[in-house]
Structure 1
Amino acid sequence: MTSTLPTRTGLSTAEVAERVARGEVNDVPLRSSRSTGEIVRSNVFTRFNAIIGTLFVVIMIVGPIQDGLFGFIIVANTGIGIVQELRAKQTLDNLAVIGEAKPRVRRDGATRELSNAEIVLGDLVELGSGDKITVDGEVAEAEGLEVDESLLTGEADPVLKHPGDPVLSGSFVVAGGGAFTTTKVGRAAYAAQLAEEASRFTLVESELRSGINTILRYVTYLLIPTAIGLALSQLYVNGSDWREAIRRMVAGIVPMVPEGLVLLTSVAFAIGVVRLGRRQCLVQELPAIEGLARVDTVCLDKTGTLTEGGMDVERLTPLDGARPETAERALGALGTADARPNASMQAIMDVYAAPDGWAVREAAAFSSARKWSGAELAEPDGQVATWLLGAPDVLLPAGHPALAEADELGAQGLRVLLLGRTPTSLDDPDPARGLMPQALVVLRQRVRPDAAETLRYFERQNVSAKVISGDNALSVGAVAGSLGLPGADDPMDARRLPEEKTPALADAVERHSVFGRVTPQQKRDMVGALQSRGHHVAMTGDGVNDVLALKDADIGVAMGSGSEATRAVAQIVLLDNRFSTLPLVVAEGRRVIGNIERVANLFLVKTVYAMLLALATIICQVPYPFLPRHSTVLSALTIGTPAFFLALAPNNERARPGFVKRVLRFAVPAGIIAGAAAFTSYMLARSDPATGQVADTSTATLTLFIVALWVLAIIARPYALWKVVLVAAMALGFVLVMTVPWAQNFFQLQLVGVRDPLTGALIGVGAGVLLEIVWRFVRNALPQP
């Protein structure tokens, strides 16, 4: 079962210095985010910046600076994107350093904690349950050392390691302890590249971003033919004045590009990371914010999540006439056999000291798969026996009288362990065979003070909570019940669950809220069963027994005090170990996703009406209604400025699939209404022989602003005082542009007479009423969250 080698002293200080001089160090850089250069390049060199930049250069050649204002807006938006992502990078870099585990390395015979970068070739690294192996090596010492290599090989079963066996970076310890000598460090390690890539700050795949990219891709396809048609049309209309034709063409193309939507999405995600970082929440991948916003089921591991890591011994109950003194001494001896005690063993060690005259011959560390630990102990009278400490319902046969007492205690929310003595050895396939019960060890778990309120938050948000634990089902149900979890009065023993991934398993998992005696593989199967029913599942945990489920869940959330393995596979790490931080993460995700969907309507309404205006202009063979400067004013007052504020507003609506369909369902008809109203107003103004092109354009601008502001007022609902002030401020800004003399001259806007402006205003109001009808129809047609 175990093997032990004489303790080694590790490298000397001089040997370490020699290896450092030769460059034999673990020099893989900590990458929690993209480099500054990558951030700048990704924000500057985009398809849409290239389009807008080209059009800006063209305008600088043919037209006045007023018509090139859109170029400066792009520069400002790009700068905001860079600054916000750099802030997010700094936050992530700082948090990654805080959250980085410190391997225990033996040097000069003493154990010290070092950073991963300080490990050198030939170092002796100590291992304990939950430790992640960060460099390749060869086992030097092993005491029941079991290593999970599933992250590398896909094989879920732990591998028992003996001295001389290889260990690979990327694997982690699930039971036992030992030490290994490093054989490959730095970039030479097997999983170094994977580990670096996995820890990176990413702006990659998510439904939100992929949906936006899909929309933008189609917009790009339409730009070129529209630009060609508009250019030819304006050349024909304007005759030999090619400069005016180009200005009008650019004015038609620029509004079609929703360039700010991409940048605003990046900014919103980055701000979310910064906000969560201030709460000691490390978001290892940005899409995790969106993913958690879509969660409808949260699977919680009781230990370390609902309860704190520490425990206290409540009492020791002797069984079958066993002497309590012997049980106490055996417990103390078992404590000396465990180099890396878990919370239960630590509580026992705090009460029962190591006894004199007891010697450990062989030991087996606790494993969540078998649910017991043990040791072969030589007692003072010369007897040698195997002592086991573990779950009563695992070690005792069904129907044993002690099980009833254990269940009764477990139903009170207490953790109960059975101490037993057996004549069989630890190497026996069934060490519990012939077990003689000695005592029940009753432990009280420390419930997190914030757990109850967090569970109530999930209940209010219609997010189902499932407590999944390896402990006794009654005990888990008692803890969950004390926290007010619905369904806690009907806990289920996972040993009664179907063994295969079947509809019956999914039915059971959906029906119950509390599960006990769950194995690591069952946790994984239960997550998969929920996903098979269309649930978006988040899994929280802190122990190595949670890793498989964390890896398979849509979103994995690890506690900062948990094992390094759980932190490595989770997308979100709660560094301060506060369960109450989780609602903040959910709320932040919902804020980001809901608000981006909200402001996407503003950008895409503009894209639709710009396309319609361009097509109408080409067909009717008239000058394009606007100059680039007019589009800049409209975009700044009805889209750009308000979108930035709306993207930061509170929003608790759960994210739902179908982002593109929902946005287009309103944006397309609203854009058609806006474009038709503006072009109608423009053509009516042109029919008035008493006015010129500036007056006609001003009338069309007035109409389009009224409709666009109406769209903004719809998108801003439900109203709050600041939203009313925002809409009013945008309206006031337009009034100033149309009335202040220098602004009129700068933007070439001036209303003439009464008939045309009044007609334009009435058309705008009529279009607004039509928008209300469309909005109510769309709102009623869409399924409610």
Structure 2
Amino acid sequence: MATQHTAKPSDGGAADKHGEQYGVQIRYRTLSIHVEEKPTSKGPTNPADVIRQIDIHTVPVEVVYQRFSTSPSLGLESPAVARLTKSFGKNVISPPKTQYWKKILNYIFGGFNFLMWVAFIVTLLSYKPLGEPNPAIFNLGVAVLLLLVIIVSATFYAVVDFHASRIMKSIRSLIADEATVIRNGERQTIPAADIVVGDVVVLALGNRVPADIRIVEASSDLRFDRSLLTGESDMIPGSITSTSDNAMETRNLALTSTFVVQGNCTGVVFATGDRTIMGRIVAMSGETKFKLTTVQREVWFFTKIISAVALGLFCIAMIVWAAWLRKTFPGFETASGAIINSIGCLTAFVPQGLPVCVALSLTIVARRMAARHVLVKNLATIETLGCMSVLCSDKTGTLTEGNMSVRKLAVFDAEYSLDAEDAAQTSFTPVTSLSLKSSPPLPQLALISRICNGAKFEGVMDGVSASQRTIKGDPTDTAVLRFAEESLQKCLSMDESTDAMRTLSGNYKKIFEIPFNSRNKWMMSIVQEHGPSGSSEPWMLIKGAPDVLFPSVSSILDTNGVAVPFNTVHQTRLSRLQHRWSSEGQRVIAVCKRPMDEFKLPKDENELEEVLYQELQDLTLIGFISIRDPPRADVKGAVGIIRNAGVRVFMVTGDFMLTAVAIAQQVGIITQDRYDTISDLARSEKKMSDSETNSETSLTIRAAADMKPGEDDPIRALVLTGDDLAQLTMVDWNIILTDYTEIVFARTTPEQKMMIVEETKKRGDNVVAVTGDGVNDAPALKASDIGIAMGSGSDVAKEAASIILLNNDFSSIPVAIELGRLVFDNLKKVILYLMPAGTYTEFVTVFANVFLGMQLALSSYLQVCFSITNDVIMSISLMYEQPESDLMARKPRNARTERLTDWRFFIQIYLFMGLMMWPCAMSMWFLYMSEQGLSFHEVILVYNKWGDGYKGFTIDQLNHFVAVGQCIYYITIVFLQYGGLLSVRNRRVSILNSNPLWGPRRNLVVPIGMVGTALVGVANLYGPGLQRVFGTTPIPTKFWFIPFSFALAILIVDETRKLIVRTYPKSIIAKMAW
């Protein structure tokens, strides 16, 4: 690796006779330094001033080591670590302080509590002064009840919020944030929270920087992503030299919460936790502003509409009383009575349980996801999952196991297999000590693969085979390193006089290295051999994609190990070999070398990297290595479920096209026998009309929302490469995303992956998810609506993602989609449950009182009580509903056009369920009155006639009739809601296939909620205190049972509707179904 050295020379390794290392081993002498700590004057407390005074980047490296009592080889010793941990605490940034008074105000006045406050104030006014000279204790009781409702609601909101916060905190704690440090002279992996000032930290590609670090050793290609700190997405170079007096701008500091996106480095920690620059910025920024999720915005919009309607109806009722009733029917209602009776307008329309259910539903689903090892970083992601319409998936480590192994080798015109069974079934030669001896290119292939490699064995394990040793590095380099080590061990077991043995006897020192990246598609190492006769001239060793390196190859080793000119015959044969292996789903790597005897190495390492790019020519091809990375066993089934849910699955990978296609076919992303390419796309463009083809504004000609395959369109597959993407026009993208269901993008760069995501989001109202695990996936993960990272992925990928699959299980994705859809589905059911009883059955009593002169069929107390007890209890039970059987067979929800409520919804509420419920409840009122001798015509249009002597009854008798009638009405709607609840549990499926007591849709919270609401009803009717204050009273026995027949009737009618919908899906009833 290109290392900028300061206090020590380059690392190397020496080849011992066991073949464990190939380089020069460097030993260090311990530098003992005594640092005297003295109390200092109190410095600035303002975070901005402290940041300005940071000077660690301006002092020499030797001073850095001295200042923190550490050394490059030993790091810190255990006693120093313990002392520093005690002094400075854990390496954790404290979150901004929460302004609890704001939260408390939101709990008290948020949601529908605002309306409850209005109702409380006007009810209190109706008691005094409007109720004087004889204020009714009933009015005061309702006011107290409303205040109690506010307190209970606020408490419940707080409990749910606190519970959600705890769940999210516990879920986030599942992410293991670790760092590599040098302590007591050994490399150790420790929790990042345990890092202390003075630790020597080793950072590699993809790592998160765990603390503020002064860089003391760095590769020349070191780059950082500081977007979390600065907001800029450009890669920032890193170096060992100071480039600015400003700590925020200098390049020799690695700051907390940034990421290594290229190269690697070593540094000394100078600040941890709240003392880091990020910690001080957090301290300055204050509390994070709360943002509503999509569903919360939908509910808030719905809440505003309902609140406006409720306030409007309340005002209308009061205006009618003041302008008409008060004058036309004097004595019918006092001002105090009119207010109390009209309170129903405020409470009837308020689905009090809805805001609670929103928070509760998201929390429940987050907990369910955590049980499947799916970490959701924020609750807003859950609902977005339900809208996912396109999934762009990386291949390696996501669709495949990421457990790579070398399977085949090829040198010149010979092929070899590392699998004995495979070799026996084919013409391949097995790789043995004999084959290594008889084919000179093979040892060179292994040696170069061993040296030009970014992976490393962990620890020294003498006598342990390479297959059993632990390797740290990316999967490709790990597989190549294991193969190379095993092959070299076989070579070392051969006769000492062989050329292979003499080749392996040398010691190789790396002078410079360019790591593999997804743009170059190759890795380069510049090495020198050190033998008994001194140092040789440097060699360029390189391994990478064959199609990328072929233009730079001028010779090839023949079977005797002699370089011969590389001609078209060789290239054609090897290209066919690459295509054959790639078509089997294998990754193919070419291994090359070049002598650098006439090349003078520049002193400036930055200049060296640029020169080496220019010198990538005249390579000698040694051979090919094929690597197999099998698909995960569960991926094909998961892809099938996702596609059946209406979500298109694209593969976006940096791999060779044929390798990508082979894996895509194995996992079900491509199911067609034939797939289109860029040439077919060009022909499709020509078929388009001239006006659209020649216009670069075709998005305005064809609605962007319509740019997606239709349900009846044939399934077509398309395969494009990164080179193809550079040629695409806007019209091409329109065709791609309109006509093709199955798409593979191969040989793509990180920038192209991000472009694919952005172009897909522009069309078809697509909500795009991206899966990935590497640094090269981070830009696409950030650009997507839903970023999904693997738990074993890089820190960069996990930070960019909004969801992390902790167990790397791709099959968790369809589960997450289903749960995301379930949130929206259950909230719709809550509204369907709440609104018919809340609006019709409660409001109609106020309407009948004001406009039909009838006594109030449901008292204000019972209206409020029903809204905040029965409704809330039963609606919460719906939050525990399991997904319906057809949930993953529906199309994804369009977040732009499909709202929480629509016209079908209101038909179900007002023209179906509501029209069944209120006549049932009102008929019970009239039935009871008729049994007392008051016919239908004698209880309507009565107004101020209802008084002492009316139809021969005293006022006490009449008031008793009203009280019993009100309690009958209340119990009727309590039990009617049983039928409503059981009806809304399913959109299409019969309750016979989804009952709440057993089976896949089991939900025992439903029967518990039913029993709970019945007990509330009993308490209201038989509670002595409630009877005394609110005038409730027991009811005749038969009125406890008749409502059950109504509930059953509602259920049967709705079951009939569902049967029609299932049987005749194109009927008018089916089209109106929610």
TM exceeding 0.5: yes
Task: Tell me if 1:113 matches 2:345.
Answer: no
Q: Any conservation in 2 of the 1:415–1:471 contact (CA below 8 Å)?
A: yes
Percent of aligned pairs with the same amino acid:
20
Task: Tell me if 1:216 matches 2:444.
Answer: no
Question: What residue in structure 2 maps to residue 561 of structure 1?
Answer: 792
How many residue pairs match? The answer is 781
Task: Tell me if 1:304 matches 2:397.
Answer: yes
TM normalised by structure 2 equals: 0.64
Question: What residue in structure 2 maps to residue 517 of structure 1?
Answer: 747
Question: What residue in structure 1 maps to residue 422 of structure 2?
Answer: none
Say which of 34, 49, 55 aligns to 2:113: 49
Task: Check 1:326–1:49 CA distance in 2 against 1; reply closer, same or farther (3 A cut).
Answer: same
SS at match of 1:447: coil
Question: What residue in structure 2 maps to residue 99 of structure 1?
Answer: 175
Q: Any conservation in 1 of the 2:977–2:1047 contact (CA below 8 Å)?
A: no
Taking the aligned partners of 1:391 and 1:197, their CA distance within structure 2 comes to: 48
**1:473 Cα deviation after fit:** 1.6
Instruction: Please give the residue correspondences for 1:561-640 in structure 2 after superposition, counting only pairs within 5 Å.
Output: 561-609=792-840, 610=842, 614=846, 617-620=849-852, 623-631=855-863, 634-635=866-867, 639-640=871-872
**1:140 Cα deviation after fit:** 2.1
SS at match of 2:174: helix
Question: What residue in structure 2 maps to residue 172 of structure 1?
Answer: 259
**1:637 Cα deviation after fit:** 8.6
Task: Check 1:9–1:506 CA distance in 2 against 1; reply closer, same or farther (3 A cut).
Answer: farther
Cα shift readout 1:557-591 (whole Å, capped 9, x = no counterpart) = 11111111111121111112222222221222122
Taking the aligned partners of 1:452 and 1:593, their CA distance within structure 2 comes to: 27
SS at match of 1:103: strand
**1:288 Cα deviation after fit:** 0.9
Taking the aligned partners of 1:443 and 1:137, their CA distance within structure 2 comes to: 37
Task: Tell me if 1:422 matches 2:594.
Answer: yes
Question: What residue in structure 1 maps to residue 638 of structure 2?
Answer: 454
Q: Any conservation in 2 of the 1:202–1:286 contact (CA below 8 Å)?
A: no
Question: What residue in structure 2 maps to residue 147 of structure 1?
Answer: 224
Question: What residue in structure 2 maps to residue 161 of structure 1?
Answer: 238
Q: Any conservation in 2 of the 1:638–1:708 contact (CA below 8 Å)?
A: no
Question: What residue in structure 2 maps to residue 332 of structure 1?
Answer: 450
Say which of 838, 854, 874 aligns to 1:642: 874
Task: Tell me if 1:393 matches 2:677.
Answer: no
RMSD: 4.7
Instruction: Please give the residue correspondences for 1:18-37 in structure 2 after superposition, counting only pairs within 5 Å.
Output: 23=88, 26-29=91-94
**1:110 Cα deviation after fit:** 3.7
Q: Any conservation in 2 of the 1:26–1:186 contact (CA below 8 Å)?
A: yes
**1:341 Cα deviation after fit:** 2.7
Worse-matched range after superposition: 469-478 or 111-120: 111-120
Question: What residue in structure 2 maps to residue 720 of structure 1?
Answer: 991
SS at match of 2:224: strand
Instruction: Please give the residue correspondences for 1:741-752 in structure 2 after superposition, counting only pairs within 5 Å.
Output: 742=1022, 746=1027, 748=1032
Task: Tell me if 1:342 matches 2:514.
Answer: no
Worse-matched range after superposition: 115-124 or 355-364: 115-124
**1:95 Cα deviation after fit:** 3.3
Residue type of the alignment partner of 2:366: V
Instruction: Please give the residue correspondences for 1:376-775 in structure 2 after superposition, counting only pairs within 5 Å.
Output: 376-379=526-529, 382-397=536-551, 400-401=571-572, 402-423=574-595, 426-427=609-610, 428-487=612-671, 490=675, 491-499=719-727, 502-508=730-736, 511=740, 512-533=742-763, 534-609=765-840, 610=842, 614=846, 617-620=849-852, 623-631=855-863, 634-635=866-867, 639-651=871-883, 652=887, 654-657=892-895, 658-662=898-902, 663-664=905-906, 666-669=908-911, 673=915, 677=919, 686-687=939-940, 692-694=961-963, 696-697=965-966, 701=970, 711-717=980-986, 718-720=989-991, 723=995, 730=1010, 742=1022, 746=1027, 748=1032
**1:42 Cα deviation after fit:** 5.5
Taking the aligned partners of 1:584 and 1:97, their CA distance within structure 2 comes to: 22
Cα shift readout 1:529-572 (whole Å, capped 9, x = no counterpart) = 22112211111111111111111111111111111111112111
**1:279 Cα deviation after fit:** 2.1
**1:211 Cα deviation after fit:** 1.0
Worse-matched range after superposition: 432-441 or 314-323: 314-323
**1:679 Cα deviation after fit:** 7.0
Q: Any conservation in 2 of the 1:392–1:416 contact (CA below 8 Å)?
A: yes
Cα shift readout 1:697-725 (whole Å, capped 9, x = no counterpart) = 35655775687555445423334356477
Taking the aligned partners of 1:608 and 1:768, their CA distance within structure 2 comes to: 22
Taking the aligned partners of 2:390 and 2:107, their CA distance within structure 1 comes to: 35
Question: What residue in structure 1 maps to residue 435 of structure 2?
Answer: none
Cα shift readout 1:421-461 (whole Å, capped 9, x = no counterpart) = 13577533345322221111111114322222211221332
Residue type of the alignment partner of 2:509: A
Say which of 412, 422, 435 aligns to 1:319: 412
Cα shift readout 1:602-648 (whole Å, capped 9, x = no counterpart) = 23334543556545644456554321443256547974333222221
TM normalised by structure 1 equals: 0.85
Q: Any conservation in 2 of the 1:288–1:555 contact (CA below 8 Å)?
A: yes
Taking the aligned partners of 1:462 and 1:561, their CA distance within structure 2 comes to: 28
Taking the aligned partners of 2:868 and 2:98, their CA distance within structure 1 comes to: 31
SS at match of 2:670: coil
Task: Check 1:647–1:21 CA distance in 2 against 1; reply closer, same or farther (3 A cut).
Answer: closer
Residue type of the alignment partner of 1:323: P
Question: What residue in structure 1 maps to residue 382 of structure 2?
Answer: 289
Taking the aligned partners of 2:1044 and 2:806, their CA distance within structure 1 comes to: 58
SS at match of 2:209: coil
**1:67 Cα deviation after fit:** 9.0
**1:105 Cα deviation after fit:** 3.0
Task: Check 1:445–1:388 CA distance in 2 against 1; reply closer, same or farther (3 A cut).
Answer: same
Taking the aligned partners of 1:193 and 1:258, their CA distance within structure 2 comes to: 44
Instruction: Please give the residue correspondences for 1:73-88 in structure 2 after superposition, counting only pairs within 5 Å.
Output: 82-88=158-164
Cα shift readout 1:505-526 (whole Å, capped 9, x = no counterpart) = 3533662422211111111111
**1:326 Cα deviation after fit:** 1.4
**1:496 Cα deviation after fit:** 1.4
Cα shift readout 1:379-420 (whole Å, capped 9, x = no counterpart) = 357242111111112222397332321121011011111111
Taking the aligned partners of 1:645 and 1:23, their CA distance within structure 2 comes to: 48
SS at match of 1:475: helix
Task: Check 1:348–1:337 CA distance in 2 against 1; reply closer, same or farther (3 A cut).
Answer: closer
Taking the aligned partners of 2:578 and 2:1050, their CA distance within structure 1 comes to: 75
**1:286 Cα deviation after fit:** 0.4
Taking the aligned partners of 2:1057 and 2:938, their CA distance within structure 1 comes to: 27
Taking the aligned partners of 2:667 and 2:1010, their CA distance within structure 1 comes to: 48
Task: Check 1:119–1:566 CA distance in 2 against 1; reply closer, same or farther (3 A cut).
Answer: same
Larger radius of gyration: 2
Q: Any conservation in 1 of the 2:980–2:1050 contact (CA below 8 Å)?
A: no
SS at match of 1:310: coil
SS at match of 2:187: strand
Worse-matched range after superposition: 386-395 or 75-84: 75-84
Task: Check 1:685–1:471 CA distance in 2 against 1; reply closer, same or farther (3 A cut).
Answer: farther
Instruction: Please give the residue correspondences for 1:337-376 in structure 2 after superposition, counting only pairs within 5 Å.
Output: 341-353=473-485, 356-376=506-526
Q: Any conservation in 2 of the 1:591–1:648 contact (CA below 8 Å)?
A: no
Worse-matched range after superposition: 224-233 or 66-75: 66-75
Residue type of the alignment partner of 1:142: A
**1:295 Cα deviation after fit:** 0.8
Taking the aligned partners of 1:35 and 1:279, their CA distance within structure 2 comes to: 34
Runs (5+) with no aligned partner, structure 2: 9-71, 128-136, 242-250, 414-438, 458-471, 489-503, 553-567, 597-607, 676-718, 927-935, 943-950, 998-1005, 1062-1066
Q: Any conservation in 1 of the 2:916–2:1050 contact (CA below 8 Å)?
A: no
**1:336 Cα deviation after fit:** 6.8
**1:116 Cα deviation after fit:** 3.6
